[in-house]
Chains A and B, each alone.
Chain A
Amino acid sequence: MEAALDERQDQIHRTGEQPFNLVCDKDSLAGAVSQRACVFCGSRVVLYPIADALHLVHGPIGCAVYTWDIRGALSSGPELHRLSFSTDLQELDVIFGGEKKLYAALTELIKRHSPKAAFVYATCIVGIIGDDMEAICKRVEAETGIPVIPVKSEGFMGNKRAGYTAACNAMARLIGTGDTSTISPHSINILGDFNLAGEIWMIRDYFKKIGVEVVANITGDGRVADLQRAHGAALNVVQCSGSTMDLAKIMEDDYGVPSIRVSYFGVEDMAQALYDVAGHFGDAEILRRTQELVKGELEVLLPKLEFYKKALTGKKAAIYVGGSFKAFSLVKAFRLLGMDVVMVGSQTGTEQEYRELAEITDPGTIIVDDTNPLELTSFLEEKDVDIFVGGVKERPIAYKLGVGFCDHNHERKEALAGFSGMLNFSEEVYASVMSPVWRFTERFQKGEAK
């Protein structure tokens, strides 16, 4: 097997083969071709689904154009988030400062689109030329009467996690400004679901059925006014802990809103999420409805899954995702299908998360932080993987090796969350693993595929 660079060795762990000592949350190694993006990316993906806000990227054109309509985050109403706004800084702006252009662009765009708020993203160059974004935002806020919030997302100021923090700090400036008088005591905010393929609508529907009010979607199908009154919710239900946990902490400190961590992926975790919320409120009626809902969903789902389980049992899966919370659910989901997870990694997992992954995975499973194409290739080859779960950048790696692929990232078009999401997930895995096209690839002809 191709060895990883020396500096990367301590970011790779093999379950059961060594004491757990994985290093993470450090800057990507120069020249290693990390799959990570940057601080700006972290902020942009978290705030992006807030559909009635203006998202203006302050910098040269690249940062805005590569994030134009980047996520399949659906909106039930306005779609302002799907447009890509940029100050498109030019050489002279860089020399003389971009503040004038930022002011003019903001004013122009707010007038044109009448957004409910504006987020202004700092890019690398803004951090260098020293534009006072805070002052410009304040001025435009005073002039237009809508919240205008700078997002401190200079690309080089840390890694993607720092971008999550910047996004949370930006959202925190909205929270606490709206009227909360009509909010039910049995109410929650959904944090860390981005409504890819309409997933948050499904989750909201579950909560509605068990009698829990959802105050704010943070941020899938998100709205500024909902964020402004989010502090009135009784509980923050946090998925994708990496991206919105900071906001939950801020809301706990500032408004005393407690939080729980959940995942909506896979049968077990989805059911657990509903039970945890029901348990928090300790309301007998909510609990009864939750049991009813879970029972009803499982009665429909489990028999359907049998078909896939039969076909997929013993197949091997590898997982590489942005945040490692999702990896837990995927490990469990693959187990439910009788499949073996042989590699799991993420761009921005925490030590605690990796430690827990090491505890729940089988001996020999590779656990990896902030990996790159060559390492991934060697892991897939070594473990003779049948399906790889990741995002767009991982896809050609799998396909070139003749390995099936499931997009569990921004570009998915089928909901993978919730109970029906588990069925979609199984169908997608099945469709890729069982396709007849593999027989023409070298891997199959080498006799390695089963």
Chain B
Amino acid sequence: MTRNPKPNYISTTNACKLCTPLGASLAFKGIEGAVPYLHGSQGCATYMRRYIISHFNEPIDIASSSLSEKHAVYGGGPNLKLGLLNVTKKYAPKLIGIATTCLTETIGDDVSLFLKEYDREVEGDKPLMVQVSTPSYMGTHMEGFHNAVASVVDTLATKDEASPDTINILPGFVSPADIRYLKEVVADFELQATILPDISETMDGVAAKTYDKIQPGGTPLAAIKTMGSNLATLEFGHTMAEKSGGMILKERFQVACTRMALPMGITASDRFFAALASLSGKATPIKHTLERGRLVDSYVDGHKYIYGKKAIVYGEEDLVVGLTAFLAEIGVMPVLCASGGRSGKLAAKIAEATADLLPEPPQVFEGMDFFEISEMAEGLEPDLLVGHAKGYPLASKLEIPLIRVGFPIHDRMGGQRILHLGYRGAQSLFDLVVNAMIAKKQSDSPVGYAYM
């Protein structure tokens, strides 16, 4: 295998990241009765809505201060307040999640001050307000997502009577299908969980009778308010900032926090199930041990089709860690792990997750774009790409399969229904990977084998 040095370009081409307010908007969208609100010019909200809709095929209304030139000069306060008033009138939200943009961060708008003024100036019932600072020149959509979650916890969580059967799960940016799965697993352990955020219904709704101004579902506000009373917090991901939602709950309310990798593949899922077993005092329910058993059985059945195949994995850092761990345990060799994020922790976390599995660790790079990934791919002769749909041009150029996972999936149906987590998610990913390799061999072969 050739080891190319990482290219180091000044310009970014075909970025492998999105901007911070997008992540914040999605996090807010997973809260009961919430409307995401961007304090900036109109375009940001519209662009992000379009980008998100193309993945979820669901409405997502993101309000905006719609700032124009005079506001940029004299400050965006009046428009922020007008916007909040209008959103309140039209949507009657329970919460407005306000994220800033590069424009308002740079002109120095003091959103906390504006909100205090708004609270004084406007009479009557007002929705809860949560604000997060998300200039898009700092970090990626994942920082936006995690910081929004942290802000929600910081602003709303309190401690009430202890609820020994309820845990907090901060899953990060996973799919609606993943959230539904987490709920099922937790219930099978006879635990209650406050999952923050919960986009399982808000971003994957039913064909409804009438149009919901705010889609039903989301983490209940009442549950968020008592997060400080819960038994423990499980927080997925290692690459977020130190001051995460889980850490705030730990410091302020002494709720034990376990940070763990996204439960992807058997090893990471075992850790998640073990944590639930320990918190609930119950053994893993038979339904899930059977799922695990069938998964191991299928790993065995399919191992020869994928052993030693070389994969390029890209996307959000924690997702890349999870995918790489999964691929390594099924015998696929990740040769390049890339992310547009820059947590500084990616390589270490991948090394940790794959230490006893890979003969040599993959090349791991942060701050990558698709031009750089593409350039590095030249010498690596990968057999497959694993990541979101924006890798399609590269997969097409290399004539290799793309396993679509994560966000965004803009060129296929059902991005919101992709299951990544747990034994069930691993099963579905495993079948995808093996079948992609079998299909490739079949279509490349002049024989066109009718049996695997």
Interface residues of A (CB under 8 A from B): 5, 7, 27-41, 56, 59-68, 83-91, 93-94, 101, 104-106, 108-109, 123-125, 127-129, 155-159, 372-374, 377, 381, 391-393, 395-397, 399-402, 440-442, 446
Q: How far is the CB of A369 from chain B (nearest CB, A)?
A: 14
Shortest A146–chain B CB gap in Å is 16
Closest-CB distance, B98 to chain A (whole angstroms): 11
On whether the beta carbons of A124 and B209 are closer than 8 Å, the reply is: no
By a CB distance below 8 angstroms, the chain A residues around B19 are 60-62, 65
The stretch from B99-107, B244-252, B261-269, B349-357 touching chain A is B99-107
Distance (whole angstroms) from the CB of A277 to the closest CB of chain B:
35
Tell me whether B304 is interfacial, beta carbon within 8 Å.
no
- Given contact pairs A86-B12, A374-B90, a sample of 11 additional A-B residue pairs in the complex whose CB atoms are under 8 Å apart: A7-B86, A31-B82, A38-B46, A60-B102, A61-B340, A64-B12, A68-B15, A381-B210, A395-B53, A396-B58, A400-B205
B residues in contact with A67, CB < 8 Å? 47
Cβ of B111: which chain A residues have Cβ within 8 Å of it? Answer: none
Taking the nearest CB of chain A, how far is it from the CB of B382, in angstroms? 21
Contact of A30 among B66, B72, B390 (CB under 8 A): B66
In Å, the complex CA distance between A320 and B379 comes to 48
Taken together as a complex, chains A and B put the C-alpha atoms of A29 and B79 apart, in Å, by 9
Report the minimum CB–CB distance from B314 to chain A (whole Å): 14
User: In the complex the two chains form, is A30's CB within 8 Å of B65's CB?
Assistant: yes
- Do A40 and B43 have beta carbons less than 8 Å apart? yes
Q: Quick check: which of B134-142, B146-154, B422-430 contacts chain A, the rest being far away?
A: B134-142
Q: Are B15 and A88 in contact (CB under 8 A)?
A: yes
A168 to chain B, nearest CB (A): 19
Contacts of B45 in A (CB 8 A): 33
- By the criterion CB–CB under 8 Å, are A127 and B13 in contact? no
**Partner of B53 from A31, A33, A393, A402 at Cβ < 8 Å:** A393
Q: Measured between alpha carbons, how far is A109 from B207 in the docked complex, in Å?
A: 47
Chain A CB within 8 A of B57 CB: yes
User: Interface 1/0s, chain B 80-124, versus A by CB < 8 A?
Assistant: 101111110111000000000111001100000000000000000
| Cβ–Cβ contact B15 & A155, under 8 A | no
Residues of B within 8 A of A94 (CB): 102, 106, 135, 137
Q: Which A residues touch B65, using CB under 8 A? A: 30-31
Give the nearest-CB partner of A127 in chain B. B72
A373 partner, pick from B61, B66, B107, B138, beta carbons under 8 A: B61
- Give bound CA distance, A337 to B355, whole Å: 66
Q: Could you list 9 examples of A-B contacts with CB < 8 Å?
A: A7-B86, A30-B83, A31-B64, A33-B62, A33-B63, A86-B13, A94-B106, A156-B71, A395-B57
Which residues from B are CB-within-8-Å of A65?
15, 17-19
Shortest Cβ distance from A359 into chain B, in angstroms?
30
Residues of B45-73 contacting chain A, CB below 8 A: 45-51, 53-54, 57-59, 61-69, 71-72
Question: Chain B nearest CB: distance from A373 CB in Å?
Answer: 5
- Judge if B1 is at the interface, Cβ distance under 8 Å: no
Report the interface size for chain B: residues with CB under 8 A from the other chain.
73
Among B14, B17, B58, which residue has the most Cβ atoms of chain A within 10 A?
B14
Q: What chain A residues lie within 8 Å of B80 (beta carbons)? A: 30
Chain B residues within CB distance 8 Å of chain A: 9-15, 17-19, 21-22, 37, 40-51, 53-54, 57-59, 61-69, 71-72, 79-80, 82-87, 89-91, 101-103, 106-107, 135-138, 140, 205, 207-213, 340, 371, 390
Q: Which of A27, A86, A381, A400 contacts B207 (CB 8 A)?
A: A400
A37 contacts which of B10, B37, B46, B89 (Cβ < 8 Å)?
Answer: B46
List of B residues within 8 angstroms of A85 by Cβ: 11-13
Which residues of B have CB within 8 Å of A62?
A: 18-19, 21-22, 44, 47-48, 102, 136
Q: A39-B43, A155-B43, A442-B208 are in contact. Are A30 and B82 (CB under 8 A)?
A: yes
- Complex Cα spacing A108 to B372, Å: 14
Contacts of B86 in A (CB 8 A): 5, 7, 29-32
Query: B211 contacts A401, CB within 8 Å?
Result: yes
Nearest-neighbour CB distance to chain B for A207, whole angstroms, equals: 33
Q: Are B211 and A377 in contact (CB under 8 A)?
A: yes
Min distance, Cβ A367 to any Cβ of chain B, angstroms: 21
**Residues from chain B with Cβ under 8 Å of A157 in the complex:** 68-69
Asked if B41 and A66 make an inter-chain contact with CB atoms under 8 angstroms apart, the answer reads: no
Q: Which residues of A contact B103 (CB under 8 A)?
A: 124-125, 128, 155-156
Q: How far is the CA of A156 from the CA of B79 in the complex (A)?
A: 13
- Nearest CB of A to B40, in Å: 7
A254 CA to B9 CA in the complex, in Å? 41
Q: Which residues of B contact A88 (CB under 8 A)?
A: 11-12, 15
Question: Is B390 a contact of A68 with CB atoms below 8 Å?
Answer: yes
Cβ of B14: which chain A residues have Cβ within 8 Å of it? Answer: 68, 83-84
Chain B residues within an 8 Å CB radius of A393: 46, 49-50, 53
Contact B136 A61 (CB under 8 A): yes
Q: Contacts A393-B46, A400-B211; is A84 near B13 (CB within 8 Å)?
A: yes
A65 CA / B17 CA spacing, docked (Å): 8
Assess the B135–A91 pair: CB atoms within 8 A. yes
On whether the beta carbons of B106 and A129 are closer than 8 Å, the reply is: yes
A66 near B137 with CB under 8 A, answer no
CB proximity of B177 to chain A, nearest CB, Å = 18
Contact indicator B47/A41 (Cβ below 8 Å)? yes
Interface contact A27-B136, CB-CB below 8 Å: no
Using known A-B contacts A65-B17, A94-B106, determine if residue A108 contacts B46 with beta carbons closer than 8 Å.
no
Given the known inter-chain contacts A33-B61, A392-B53, A440-B207, please indicate yes or no for A128 contacting B137, CB distance below 8 A.
Answer: no
Q: Which of chain A's residues have a CB closer than 8 A to the CB of B205?
A: 400
A430 to chain B, nearest CB (A): 21
B211 to chain A: which residues have CB within 8 Å?
377, 381, 397, 400-401
* Most chain A beta-carbon neighbours within 10 Å: one of B43, B45, B138, B207: B43
Closest to B213 in A: A374
